[in-house]
Chain A
Amino acid sequence: MSEIFGIPIQAFMGQLMLGLVNGSFYAMLSLGLAVIFGMLNIINFTHGALYMVGAFGAWLGLTYLELGYWQALLLSPICVGIFGIVIERSMLQWLYKLDHLYGLLLTFGLALVLEGLFTNIFGVSGQPYSIPDELSGAFNLGFMFLPKYRAWVIVASLVVCFVTWFVIEKTQLGAYLRAATENPKLTQAFGINVPLMVMLTYGFGAALAGFAGVLAAPAIQVSPLMGSNLIIVVFAVVVIGGMGSILGSILTGIGLGVIEGLTKVFYAEASSTVVFIIMAIVLMIRPAGLFGKEK
């Protein structure tokens, strides 16, 4: 059997594939963070909690309303988005003019409140959520046994990432949005409702987190801590990609997922640190991140 660095090529390909799956989650979550930071200048620490709420939305829908996976995939992000809008209108909007630190503190506090609330109600071991029947089973790729559900995660996340990038970078709406961040007063003078745009952006970022949550629900246990286990890595992804850079966060997310996956084969003990080592190196060489612009 042929080998790469002493690892059978099949195992290598398998790990590459799994890295891609994890990378898809990182990409989707860091995309939401990047959008919110880019447009609102808020470091949204609530993101992990919103991802958790999205997953719980799916579980609650199934348990109490008998909503299936597909309905949850649509409804849960919408609910999380609306919840995000409520947060933005009631709290965040007062902080835009202040230092980043205030937004960070508020959103971090909110994340703790949400996690505490869910832990209290549901316990930390979490709730099981089954894979929908249409997506159970697996593809035999020759080099590995890829569960259909994981393949679906890659596809869904790539589509969502692409659409988001397209809307923000290539459409009229996206142009307004970017203008509103660049110079809110001038944009408003042109008759564009900037506060509305900002509100919708936060809602959209939150919905993205909720969507990732629903995608994750069948793959990992739906538990109140699922967000905080992930959020630090996702922040590292955003920093490496360049704060606020959309394309940067997508590419870095996928790339780091793959690198982390490969680390798990070569030296599993380092798999939780490798992302931060990369972050340190990138910040030394390019302080604004790989795709960020120096201000």
Chain B
Amino acid sequence: MKQKLLVALTTMALAAFGTQAHAQAEKAKTGKLSGDMVKVAVMNDMVGLYADIGGPGSVEAAKMAVADFGGKILGKPIEVVFADHQNKPDIGASKAREWFDTQGVDMIVDVPTSSVAIAVAKVANEKKRVFMNTGAATKALTNEECNPYTVHYAYDTYALANGTGKAIVQTGGKTWFFLTADYAFGHALEGDTAAVVKASGGEVKGAVRHPLSASDFSSFLLQAQASKAQIIGLANAGGDTINAVKAANEFGLTKNQTLAGLLMFITDVHSLGLKTAQGMMLTDAWYWDANDETRKFGKRFFEKMKRMPSFDQAAVYSATLTYLKAVEASGTDDADAVMATLKKTKINDVFTKGGYIRVDGRMVHDMYLMQVKKPEDSKYPWDYFQLKKVIPAEEAFQPLSLSKCSLVKK
């Protein structure tokens, strides 16, 4: 008897909780905005080797987007919060969980470092919240790891490989050797580029994998030199690319071999200096000195951060703005409704004209093949890139027919 009573009571309690939770969810839907506000969270590497690419600059970019949107959405406030994931997937995932569960965050943006991005995408999927990745490179985000709530906004390893790899092979750089950062991103970039090189008629002579944040590259470069490949593809990023380029100059590699930065940001070129970086080819998603609109944005950003925005930072601005517009158009911050709006809206802003988000979450837009200017050709500060070729949106990214994403109907 006693036991039956206990069971009955427990069931009642559970049912009561259930209705309460359900009522809350209902309220969130009809009350339009959960928590009566929209909270955008910037997560990236704030002080480590990728901090100049995104870092505090991305937070500033998100704040600029909020300011340009008008500071309020559907009459409610917009808040920007941020956190440092220290390039560690466990830290990124638990922070995302905390944000979604207890802080009422609606959307996470930026998140460089592929391994962290994949971890955060999984949390976003589980919690059904929007994740707009601008910082990470791995194309897995829109392939094996794709989910209905993740947008990959700025670039990916396919676009980088396709831009730099193809263009260089076409101009005669047939033999390649890769210097690869030994983690998910490096492997993906090396794999994609190698595939493009081979498909375009080139040959891959070999590769060497270095640990992340290696302090000395001379040993790896000596192996690259011994390979006698024409092109040394740097499948790494940030400080690693910088130190590799520096050592390559010192060891005289650049006399007979050409360096290709497979992922280089303008901030890397800035800190290397044109004397060392000149002549390198790279694929860029956005450049501040492209037209009047980008120049205006660049200068506004410069006044706040004392440096020009990287394409990641410009993408954070654009992604945040696009998200806010979608929330307004949907009339709610419910992730399913916002994602539906996002996937049918063209994006026209300082970052892209006519960009759109595909079913797999890939934002498709033009990419640019750039060459680093010679010191004598640079006329003013941050005048670093010469546009070699616009890669049209349709060619720049992996076609849907090759996608491994489960959302793509075949």
Q: What is A's interface to B at a CB cutoff of 8 Å?
A: 8, 10-11, 14-15, 18-19, 21-22, 115-116, 119, 123-128, 130-131, 138, 144-145, 147, 149-150, 219-221, 223, 225-226, 229-230, 261, 264-265, 268-269, 271-272
Question: Which of A10, A119, A221, A261 contacts B242, CB < 8 Å?
Answer: A221
CB of B223 within 8 A of CB of A11, answer yes
The 7 closest A-B pairs by CB, nearest first: A272-B211, A125-B271, A264-B219, A125-B52, A128-B273, A124-B51, A229-B215
Q: When A125-B270, A126-B239, A220-B246 are in contact, do A225 and B223 touch as well, CB less than 8 Å?
A: no
CA gap between A268 and B212 in the complex, in Å: 12
Q: When A14-B222, A15-B222, A219-B250 are in contact, do A225 and B49 touch as well, CB less than 8 Å?
A: yes
B243 neighbours in A (Cβ, 8 Å): 220-221
Nearest CB of chain B from residue A10's CB, rounded to whole Å? 8
CB of A126 within 8 A of CB of B271, answer yes
Q: Which residue of A lies closest to B210 (CB)?
A: A268
CB of A225 within 8 A of CB of B239, answer yes
Could you list 9 examples of A-B contacts with CB < 8 Å?
A: A21-B216, A123-B267, A124-B55, A128-B271, A128-B273, A138-B252, A229-B214, A261-B219, A264-B223
Question: Which of A21, A119, A261 contacts B51, CB < 8 Å?
Answer: A119
B177-195 interface with A by 8 A CB criterion: 182
CB of B51 within 8 A of CB of A271, answer no
A225 neighbours in B (Cβ, 8 Å): 48-49, 213, 239
B276 neighbours in A (Cβ, 8 Å): 128
CB of B219 within 8 A of CB of A15, answer yes
CB of B219 within 8 A of CB of A18, answer yes
Nearest CB of chain B from residue A18's CB, rounded to whole Å? 5
Question: Which of B214, B215, B239 contacts A124, CB < 8 Å?
Answer: B239
CB of A268 within 8 A of CB of B215, answer no
CB of A123 within 8 A of CB of B252, answer no
Q: Apart from A18-B218, A150-B250, A221-B242, list 14 A-B contacts with CB within 8 A.
A: A15-B222, A18-B219, A21-B218, A22-B216, A115-B47, A124-B47, A124-B48, A138-B252, A220-B215, A221-B271, A264-B219, A265-B223, A268-B220, A271-B219
B261-289 interface with A by 8 A CB criterion: 267-268, 270-273, 275-276
B250 neighbours in A (Cβ, 8 Å): 131, 147, 149-150, 219
Q: Which residue of A lies closest to B276 (CB)?
A: A128
B199 at the interface (CB under 8 A from A): no
B299 at the interface (CB under 8 A from A): no
B208 at the interface (CB under 8 A from A): yes
CB of B47 within 8 A of CB of A268, answer no
Question: Which of A11, A116, A130, A230 contacts B222, CB < 8 Å?
Answer: A11
CB of B252 within 8 A of CB of A268, answer no
Question: Which of A123, A130, A219, A268 contacts B208, CB < 8 Å?
Answer: A268
CA gap between A221 and B273 in the complex, in Å: 11
Q: When A124-B48, A149-B250 are in contact, do A268 and B239 touch as well, CB less than 8 Å?
A: no
CA gap between A131 and B250 in the complex, in Å: 9
Nearest CB of chain B from residue A26's CB, rounded to whole Å? 10
Nearest CB of chain A from residue B185's CB, rounded to whole Å? 15
Q: When A147-B250, A220-B215, A229-B215 are in contact, do A123 and B49 touch as well, CB less than 8 Å?
A: no
Nearest CB of chain B from residue A212's CB, rounded to whole Å? 12
CB of A125 within 8 A of CB of B215, answer no
CB of A123 within 8 A of CB of B239, answer no
B174 at the interface (CB under 8 A from A): no
B220 neighbours in A (Cβ, 8 Å): 264, 268
CA gap between A230 and B222 in the complex, in Å: 21
Question: Which of B51, B55, B210, B251 contacts A147, CB < 8 Å?
Answer: B251
B228-260 interface with A by 8 A CB criterion: 238-239, 242-243, 246-247, 250-252
